[in-house]
Structure 1
Amino acid sequence: MNSAEFRAVFRYIKALLVITQASLVLTDHREMLPPSPADVAWLMHEWTPAVVRETNYSHRAIITAHNSQTRVEMAKVANCDASAALTAQFFTEVEPAVHWLRSIYIV
């Protein structure tokens, strides 16, 4: 994925959060390649603060990447200042992540 495609995915996620007023997100990074430093900075300093400010996003279940560099780069995002407003759990498989999200879902 190039930078434009990478950012388009996250803009789409933000739009879905706005439209659906969802607060829970499961992201599967298992096959994700390392994002560029510019894209990591964009997630940390632009996307995450905006999504926290403009949506109900509160919890994220993250399926960690197989690629170690991707894990390092996405951990930077998960640990940035804006991410402090979000509760995150890391998983290696989808089912435990879904179970965790269902355990906190309130109708």
Structure 2
Amino acid sequence: MNSAEFRAVFRYIQALLIITQASLVLTDHREMLPPSPADINWLMHEWTPTVVRETNYSHRAIIPARNSQTRAAIAKVTTCDASAALTAQFFTEVEPAVRWLRSIYVV
């Protein structure tokens, strides 16, 4: 996926967080190819701080990429300053991630 498509996905997630007032996100990166350094920088310094500041986003369940370069790039994002406001848990499969998020969700 090119940079415009990559950023569109994250803008869509941001819109969903705003519209639904959701606070929990599950991201499955298993098939994701490495994002560009510019897109990682954008996630770290623009997208994540904005979303943390403007939404209820508080928890994320992450299924890491199979591609080691992608894992390394996403690891940078999960350790950036804005990510400190988020609780993250890593999983190898979707079902345990969903169970964890459901255990947090309170109506």
Equivalents in 2 of 1:92, 1:67: separation in Å? 14
- 2:49: which partner in 1? 49
Query: How much is the aligned-residue C-alpha RMSD, in angstroms?
Result: 0.4
- 1:90: which partner in 2? 90
Equivalents in 1 of 2:103, 2:16: separation in Å? 22
Matches within 5 A, 1:7-26: 7-26=7-26
* TM-score computed with the length of structure 1 as normaliser: 0.99
Q: Structure 1 stretches (4+) deviating beyond 2 angstroms?
A: none
For the residue of structure 1 that corresponds to 2:74, the secondary structure is helix
For the residue of structure 1 that corresponds to 2:101, the secondary structure is helix
How much has 1:78 moved relative to structure 2? Answer: 0.4
Equivalents in 2 of 1:24, 1:54: separation in Å? 14
- 1:67: which partner in 2? 67
Segments of 5+ residues of structure 1 without an aligned counterpart are none
Q: Deviations over 1:29-76 (max 9, x none)?
A: 000000000000000000000000000000000011010110000000
For the residue of structure 2 that corresponds to 1:103, the secondary structure is helix
How much has 1:97 moved relative to structure 2? Answer: 0.3
Equivalents in 2 of 1:92, 1:68: separation in Å? 14
Segments of 5+ residues of structure 2 without an aligned counterpart are none
Percent of aligned pairs with the same amino acid:
87
Q: How many residues were matched structurally?
A: 107
For the residue of structure 1 that corresponds to 2:31, the secondary structure is coil
Equivalents in 2 of 1:84, 1:102: separation in Å? 21
